[in-house]
Structure 1
Amino acid sequence: MTQPAVPGSATRGAVDLTGLSTAPAASASGAAPGGSDQVHVKVTDENFTEILNRTVRVPAVMVVVSSRLPESVVYLGEVVEVAKTMQGRLQVVSVDVDTNPGILRALQVQSVPVTVGLIQAQVVPMFAGVAPKDQVREILTQFLDLAVQQGVTGRIEVASAAPSDELPPLHQEAYDAIERGDLAAAAAAYDQALVQDPKDADALAGRATVALMQRTEGADLAAARAAAAERPDDVAAQTLVADLDLLGGHVEDAFGRLIDLVRRTSGDERTAARQHLTELFDLVGNQDERVKRGRTALMSALF
C-alpha cells in the first residue's frame, strides 16, 4: 500500500527546481500555460518556472509519468478526476520524464509514477507509485489543508475547463482497456492503430508495453525474485524479474540485472539474455539516458 505524504519517498536527495528554465517567470497572479481554467496542464523543462510561480497563489499536485508506461498515464487520469471534484482548489500538472530530462534530473526520480505537491514554488514530497482513488482523495485533502495553513487559497475556474490531452480514439480505447485490466483488448486497439499508421510511435510504444504487461500478468513479484535468487543463471527467471522491474518503473534495476546475466552466461543463454535486454532498451527508447548508459555497459559485458 502506498504511504501518504512521506517526505523523501517520491524523490531522492535535495530537490531544486528553480533553475530549470531561463524563460521569464510569470507573476503570482498570472495564468498558467494553457489557460488558468484548466484542471490539468502539462509541464515541460521550458515552461516549468511559469507553472511553479503560479503555485504562490494556487496549489498544484505534480504527477511524473512516462508515455512509455501507459499505466502511469492511466493513474494520472485518476488523479485529475479526483482534482475535478475539489472546486478548483488545486491544479494537476503532469510531466513526461521521457521528454523532460531537466525535471527528471532535478527530482532524481527512481521510478514512475511519482506524485509531489507544489506550494509557494516549493516541492512537498508525497509518494511514489499508484494509489487507489479514495487514498488519493485523502492525500490531496491533507495537502490542501497544508496549503491553507500557508495562506495559499487561490482557485482555478473549473466550470469552463476545456478538455485536455485528448487521445486518438484507438489510443483512448487502449488506455481504457488497460484501466479495466483487459490487456487483449488494449493490444488489439494498438494493433488497429498500427494498421492505420505503421509509424505511429506512441502506438508502437504502447503495444510493446502491453506485451510486457501480458508477459508479467499473474506473476508474483516475491516468488519471482526468490526464484531468480535461487537460480542466478536461469534466463527465464532473470528476465521475468527484469520485466517486472521495468513495468514498475525500475528501469536501471532491470537493465543491471540483465547486464549481469550477460556477463555470467555464454552461448545460447547469453544470446537470449542479450536479446531480451535489447528489447527492453527499445521499449524505453534510445533517447533515454539510462538506455545510453545501459548500452555502454552491455558492450563492456560482451567484450
Structure 2
Amino acid sequence: MSNIPPTPAGLRGAVDLSSLVNRGTASPPAPAPASAAAAAPGGPGGAAAGVSDALVVPSLVVDVTDQTFQDVIELSMQVPVIVDLWAEWCGPCKQLSPVLERLAQEYDGRIVLAKVDVDANPQLTQAFQAQSIPTVAAVIGGRPLGLFVGALPEAEVRDVIEQVLQAAAQNGIAGRVQVADGAPDADADAAAEPEPEPLPPHHQAAYDAIEQGDYTTAIAEYRTAIAQDPHDRMAVAGLAQVSLLDRLQGATADELRAAAAAAPTDPAAQLGVADLDISGGHVEDAFGRLLDVFPTVHGAEREAVRARLVEYFELVGADDPRVVAARRRLATLLY
C-alpha cells in the first residue's frame, strides 16, 4: 500500500466535533483501560469474548445524520466506527461504498460502518472537512480521524481498516458488537433491495482493474469511455482519480515533500507534492501551489501544470467555490 493515504498514526489532524458531541444528554463513557484491550475480542493476544459480552446493535452498517451522530460517538467507545461520506451523484462513491459495506460484514462486529449522505448532512460534512468525496474517516473513543479520500482498491481499504483496529486497540478500544436477534439480516436486505444498475462496460473494466491495482489498464479504459462519449463526466472524474492513484503509487509523503523543498522552482517536484496535498484533502494548498508555479514555467511544463489543475477541478467538483476561485485565477494567468 502506498504511504500516501494518511493513517491513524499520522493523520491531517482530528476534526472538531464538539458541537455535535455536546448535543448528547450524557457524557460519553471513558475509554477502557489498556488492560481491557488485551482481553477484548480482537485485542492483542486476547481471546474472543462470548456473545453475552458483545454490545448489541441493530446493524453493522448504519445511516447516520447530523441529528443522530451522537450515537456514533457513543458506539465508538466500544468499537472503531468507519465513516463513509458519500453522495448519490458521486461515481467513485458507488465503487467504494459496496467495498466498505462488505468489509464491515466480514469483520464481524469488530467495526461498524456509518454512512453519511453529504447532501443531507452539511454539519457532518463540514465537521469531517469533506472537501471532496468519497471521504472516509474513523471515530475511535469519540475522537474522529481522517483516513483517505477517493475510491481505493479493496486491498488498500482493508489495510487501512487493519491500521484503524491497531490504533483503536492501543487506545483501549477493542470490543465487539453483535447484530440484535430479529434485526434485519444484511443478506436479506441485500436480496430485498433492487440490484444496482450495472456500470457501463468500460467503467466496469476500469473498476475491476483498480481492484487488482492495475491503474494503467484502468486509465486506458476510462480514456476509451471518454473517447466514445466526451460528455461522460463519471469517466472524466474516474480518470482523474485513478491517474492520481497511479502517480502516488510507490511514493512516500516524506520523499515528495523533501523533493519539493529542495527544488521550489522545479515544476515536477511541485506537481508531486500537490498530488500529496489533494490526496489528503488539502485542496486549497494544492491549488495555491500550482497557481504560484504556473507563471514561472513555459511550454510543455506550463501545459503540464495547467492540465493537472484541470484534473484537480474534476476531482473536487466544478461547483465547489474553491474550484471556482482557482479557475478564475488560472484564467487571469492564461490571458
With normalisation by structure 2, the TM-score equals: 0.59
Summarize the alignment of residues 1-303 of structure 1 with structure 2, pairs less than 5 Å apart: 4=8, 11-17=14-20, 40=61, 48-49=65-66, 52=69, 61-64=82-85, 70=92, 76-85=97-106, 92-95=113-116, 101-109=122-130, 113-117=135-139, 124-129=143-148, 132=159, 133-136=161-164, 145=175, 157-162=185-190, 166=196, 168-169=198-199, 170=201, 171-194=203-226, 197-262=229-294, 265=296, 267-268=298-299, 272-298=304-330
Offset at 1:219? 3.9
Pick closer, same or farther for the CA change 1:252–1:94 going to 2, 3 Å. Answer: farther
- Residue 236 of structure 1, CA deviation: 2.0
Counterpart contact for 1:68–1:206, Cα < 8 Å: no
Q: Which amino acid aligns with 1:82?
A: L
CA distance in 2, matches of 1:9, 1:223: 17
Change (3 A) 1:270 1:134: closer
Q: Distance in 2 between matches of 1:215 and 1:247?
A: 11
Amino acid in the other structure paired with 2:138: V
Moved more, 279-288 or 201-210: 279-288
Distance of aligned partners of 1:51 and 1:196 in 2 relative to their CA distance in 1, 3 Å threshold: farther
> Is contact 2:84–2:114 with CA below 8 Å preserved after alignment?
yes
Cα deviation 1:121-162 (Å, max 9, x = unaligned): xx54245235614445566887573889xxx98965324121
Which stretch shows the higher mean deviation, 100-109 or 52-61?
Answer: 52-61
Instruction: Tell me which residue corresponds to 1:28.
Output: none
Quick one: structure 1 residues 99 and 293, their matched pair in 2 at CA, closer, same or farther if it must change by over 3 Å?
Answer: farther
Tell me the distance in 2 between the aligned counterparts of 1:207 and 1:55: 34
CA gap 1:232/1:205 in 2 versus in 1, 3 angstroms:
same
The answer to whether the 8 Å contact 1:40/1:93 transfers is yes
Alignment partners' CA distance in 2, 1:236 and 1:98: 36
Amino-acid identity (%): 36
Rounded Cα–Cα distance in structure 2 between residues aligned with 1:55 and 1:68: 24
Match of 2:102, as an amino acid?
E
CA distance in 1, matches of 2:331, 2:234: 28
Which residue identity does 2:126 align to in structure 1?
R
- For structure 1, which segment, 206-215 or 195-204, has the greater mean C-alpha deviation from structure 2 after superposition? 195-204
Aligned CA distance change for structure 1 residues 161 and 58 (closer, same or farther; 3 Å): farther
Residue identity opposite 1:209 in structure 2: Q
Separation in 1, partners of 2:162, 2:72: 24
User: If the length of structure 1 is used for normalisation, what is the TM-score?
Assistant: 0.64
C-alpha distance in 2 between matches for 1:234 and 1:51:
48
Letter in 1 for 2:309: L
After TM superposition, give the deviation of residue 205 of structure 1 in Å.
0.8
Residue 173 (structure 1) shift: 3.6
Cα 1:86–1:284 change in 2 (3 A) is closer
- Structure 1 unaligned blocks of 5 or more: 19-35
Matches of 2:97 and 2:137 in 1, distance apart?
9
Q: Residue by residue, what CA displacement relative to the aligned partner does 1:207-241 show, whole Å, maximum 9, x if unpaired?
A: 22223333444444433322222221222221222
Q: RMSD of the alignment, in Å?
A: 4.7
